[in-house]
C-alpha cells in the first residue's frame, strides 16, 4: 500500500495527517509527502525569505524522519499565491507525483478553507486523481488544518469528517513532528499550538471511542 500526502505548505502535512502518516508507515506502507508551496515568501522578500524557505525545507525533512516518512518532495509554488499559477500547471505537478509514486490512498486539504493555496491544492488533487482505467488510486480523503479550515466558518463548505483514523499510538510522534517546525509554532490558545492540536486529536478520538484520532472527509473511494 502506498500513501501520498499532498500538502500546500510545510507543516500542513503534520497538522492534517501526521498521526495517520506515522501509523501507515509503522504498518509497513510507503508514505510520500508532496509539499506544493515554498511556505515563506508571502511574509517578506529577499534573502531573509529565501533563508526561511531553506529552514522550512530542513524542518520538513526532520519532521518526516520523526513520522517515518519515506520521502518528502517539494514543488516550490509561490506561497499564498497559488491563484497566480494556472490550475492546469498545478494539476500537472500533482499528476507527475502520482505517476512516480503510484499511491493507493491520497490525503490532501479540504476545499472549505480560508487559505487559497489549500483550496487550489484540493482542486488540483481532485482533477489529478479522477478515476480512470488503470489508475492506482483507490481512495481520496481530505483533512482539516487548524487555524485555516476552521476559520472558514463554514462559509465555503464545512468540514464534515466521515472517516476517523485512530492515532492513539502515533499522537506523540505527530506532536514531536510539530515541535520540529519551530518557525511555525504558536503559543496556546492558538489553534495551531501544540496544546490545541493535542486537544483536537483527543476530542476527535472521543467521537469514535478512542483516545486520539485524525478526522478526514471521504472525497471518493473505489473498492
Residue 83 has pLDDT above 70, yes or no: yes
- Centre a 10 Å sphere on the Cβ of residue 5 and count the other Cβ atoms it contains: 27
CA distance 92 to 23: 29
Is the link from the previous residue into 215 a cis peptide, with omega within 30 of 0? no
pLDDT of residue 16: 98
Structure confidence at residue 68 (pLDDT): 98
> Could you tell me what percent of the chain has a pLDDT over 90?
89
Q: Exposed (0-12), middle (13-18) or buried (19+): which is 134, by Cβ within 10 Å?
A: exposed
**pLDDT of 45:** 66
pLDDT tens by residue, 15-33: 999 999 999 999 999 999 9
Using DSSP, state whether 206 is helix, strand or coil: helix
127-143 pLDDT, tens digit per residue, is 999 999 999 999 999 99
Strand 30-37 to 139-143 pairing: unpaired
The whole-number pLDDT of residue 183 equals 83
Could you tell me the three cell numbers for 8? 500546500
pLDDT confidence tier of residue 185, bands split at 50, 70 and 90: confident
Q: What was the pLDDT predicted at 42?
A: 86
**How high is the pLDDT of residue 123?**
98
Mean pLDDT of all residues in 187-191: 94
In this model, does residue 46 exceed pLDDT 70?
no
Walk across the sheet containing 213-221 and list its strands: 71-77, 30-37, 2-7, 105-109, 139-143, 213-221, 163-166
Q: What is the mean pLDDT of the chain?
A: 96
Domain residues for 129? 2-221
What average pLDDT does this structure show over 122-130?
A: 98
If 0-12 CB within 10 Å is exposed, 13-18 middle and 19+ buried, where does residue 155 land?
A: exposed
pLDDT over threshold 80, residue 43:
no
CATH of the domain at 131: 3.40.50.10320
Structural domain count, the chain: 1
| pLDDT above 70 coverage of the chain, percent | 98
Distance (Å) of CA 70 to CA 15, 33, 39: 18, 8, 21
Nearest CA to 13 out of 153, 155, 121 is that of: 121
Distance CA 218, CA 221 (A): 7
Amino acid at each position: 500500500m502506498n500513501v501520498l500526502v499532498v500538502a500546500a505548505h510545510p507543516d500542513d502535512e503534520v497538522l492534517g495527517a501526521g498521526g495517520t502518516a506515522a501509523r501507515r508507515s509503522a504498518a509497513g506502507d510507503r508514505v510520500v509527502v508532496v509539499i506544493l508551496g515554498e511556505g515563506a515568501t508571502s511574509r517578506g522578500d529577499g534573502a531573509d525569505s529565501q533563508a526561511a524557505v531553506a529552514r522550512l525545507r530542513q524542518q520538513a525533512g526532520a519532521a518526516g524522519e520523526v513520522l517515518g516518512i519515506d520521502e518528502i518532495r517539494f514543488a516550490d509554488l509561490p506561497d499564498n499565491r497559488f491563484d497566480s499559477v494556472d490550475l492546469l500547471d498545478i494539476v500537472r505537478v500533482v499528476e507527475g507525483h502520482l505517476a512516480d509514486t503510484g499511491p493507493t490512498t491520497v490525503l490532501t486539504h479540504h476545499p472549505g478553507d480560508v487559505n487559497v493555496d489549500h483550496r487550489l491544492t484540493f482542486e488540483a488533487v481532485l482533477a489529478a486523481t479522477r478515476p480512470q482505467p488503470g489508475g492506482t488510486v483507490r481512495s481520496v480523503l481530505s483533512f482539516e488544518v487548524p487555524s485555516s479550515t476552521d476559520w472558514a466558518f463554514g462559509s465555503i463548505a464545512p468540514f464534515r469528517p466521515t472517516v476517523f483514523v485512530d492515532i492513539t499510538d502515533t499522537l506523540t510522534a505527530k506532536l514531536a513532528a510539530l515541535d520540529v517546525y519551530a518557525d511555525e509554532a504558536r503559543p496556546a490558545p492558538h489553534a495551531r499550538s501544540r496544546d490545541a492540536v493535542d486537544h483536537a486529536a483527543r476530542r476527535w478520538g472521543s467521537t469514535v471511542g478512542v483516545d486520539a484520532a485524525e478526522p478526514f472527509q471521504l472525497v471518493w473511494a473505489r473498492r
